[in-house]
Amino acid sequence: LRPAPEGWDPRVTPRLVIMHSVMGDEGGYERFYQTANQDREVLCLRHVGLCDTPVDFSDLRDAQQLADRYARELIEHIGDEPFDMIGASLGGSLAHRCVCTCQEIGGNPRRLTMIDPPAPEPLPGLMQTMAGEFGMTFRQAAEVLLLMPTYLKSGDLAGREDGDPEGEAEKAAIRELVQKCRTLPEEALPYLVVKEGMSGLGMFKADSPIVEVAIVKATQRIKAFQHCVKILWGGWGGNDPPARHYRGPGGAPSIFLVKASERGEFFGFMMVLGLQSSGEKLIERRALPGVDLDALKARFDKYKEVDSAIAIFRDGNYREMMQDDVSLLGDRALNSFKSVQTKDVDGMHGPAALTMTMEGNHLDVTTRCISRRDLEFNYLADLFMAPVSAFSAGSGKPGAKRDAGDDSGDVEDGAAHGAAVARANRSMVARLRERFDRAVEQQREALLSGFKNSLKVCLPPPPPE
């Protein structure tokens, strides 16, 4: 994504590796390699299904197998040169498993940034059974890709009043798009994805050779997304091996964990969508004794339809609504569902050097972080992945230099180096917090000063004495 700058030393400024999200590529991360990280090489691990050579997904049945493949390809490319990695949502889970494997096969991962990852363990009780039955068809995957822009701005749509002309027109267009996606022949869906995407950019011409290429790419993208969803739900259903704990150089905590304040609501919403999709199979398996399929659909279909889902978000009480609907399935199902909503991931991937909770739901937080639209996250992420020279392993002080005879920071020095790096990491974390607190206070003072100046301009001058 960004070639190495002239004179770049990867052992001083480790390269940044972006792990793909559930969408299969680095989409959304543009500012991480176009405006930031200009002092290092930036790579991306894209989903294997997006390459031009056919891929046998039967060899990639769970998150660990997929992460292992990425680890082997990455280390084959960069050897033992150090690197930092970042991933969001499913990408965070894959990044975590990938760096653990890289360590085992001779790689040298340094720092790992995880943005609101799902818990790396099976869901409890009925939710695990449901996840094991969950499946996404090619048609369903195409529909989600078509509606993804709507999901990302659902808060804007939900905030509009009923009857707002612009909002009603947009929702009508969404309904028409969904109808097309659910009725067109399956082989026409990649064309629909391309047409919608390129029309929005004013680039669509039906007879253009670019469109033909784009249709092939859209087919690959739908299949890659379908596979990522299978990996995600398969892990929730118990397919993944237990996740290992990651520690960086010298065994130091080297994870920056970002969590959404409303992650429980989002993953709960995923569960009710799963129940809506898998309800018939669960009833056939007698996993829901005494539950009628029509009654289940009457409760859960509203989460699937765009209009009703937007209304649910607008009302703002969907956490309680979801619990009320799941209670139809019995106390055990409700308790299982509640545990998903309250599940925390602290410590589940290894000790964190930094933990940050951001206000908002999962989609909002992950989008803000990867697009670098949150000042607090940007500040902490940049310092967390700062070059080695910014925090000397010898003294733990920014910019400190080692004496010529001091080899405590040399990579070849094994245990001595590990201990020095661990000390530097601990010192770095303390300084990160101190610097950030100071920056926030300065920003607050600047905002207050600007507000006072604005008031002086807006308010009438005091009367003369």
Query: 201-252 pLDDT, tens per residue?
Result: 556 666 677 888 888 889 999 999 999 999 999 999 999 999 999 999 999 9
The reply to whether 396 falls in a domain is: yes
Report if residue 110 sits inside a domain.
no
What is the overall mean pLDDT for the chain? 82
The predicted pLDDT at position 200 comes to 58
Report which listed range, 79-93, 316-330, 338-352, is most confident. 79-93
The neighbour count for residue 244, using CB atoms within 10 Å, is 17
Question: How many domains, in total, are found in the chain?
Answer: 1
Question: Using CA atoms, how far apart are residues 366 and 356, in angstroms rounded to an integer?
Answer: 13
14: DSSP letter: P
Percentage of the chain beyond pLDDT 90 is 51
Q: What is the pLDDT of residue 441?
A: 58
Contacts of residue 381, Cβ cutoff 8 Å, sequence gap at least 6: 86, 113, 256, 369
- Domain containing 396 equals 392-458
User: What pLDDT was estimated at residue 407?
Assistant: 37
Confidence of residue 390 (pLDDT cuts 50, 70, 90): low
DSSP line for 178-208: HHHHHHS-GGGHHHHHHHHHHHHTT---TT-
Q: Is residue 362 part of a domain?
A: no
Residue 259 parent element (H or E): strand 255-260
DSSP code for 51: S
pLDDT tier, 315 (very low <50, low <70, confident <90, very high otherwise): low
The pLDDT of residue 308: 76
- On the question of pLDDT at 447 being above 80, the answer is no
Helices 318-326 and 331-342: crossing angle in degrees, nearest 10, is 150
Distance, in Å, from the CA atom of 11 to the CA atom of 110, rounded to the nearest integer, reads 10
Please say whether the beta carbons of 246 and 345 come within 8 A. no
Cβ neighbours, 10 Å, residue 213: 11
Residue 164 lies in a domain: no
Say if 43 falls within a structural domain.
no
Closest among 90, 121, 151, 182 to 339, alpha carbons compared: 121
- Specify if 268 maps to a domain: no
Is 413 part of any domain?
yes
Confidence band of 120 (pLDDT split at 50, 70, 90): very high
**Cα 91 from Cα 299, distance rounded (Å):** 32
Asked if residue 398 is part of any domain, the answer here is: yes
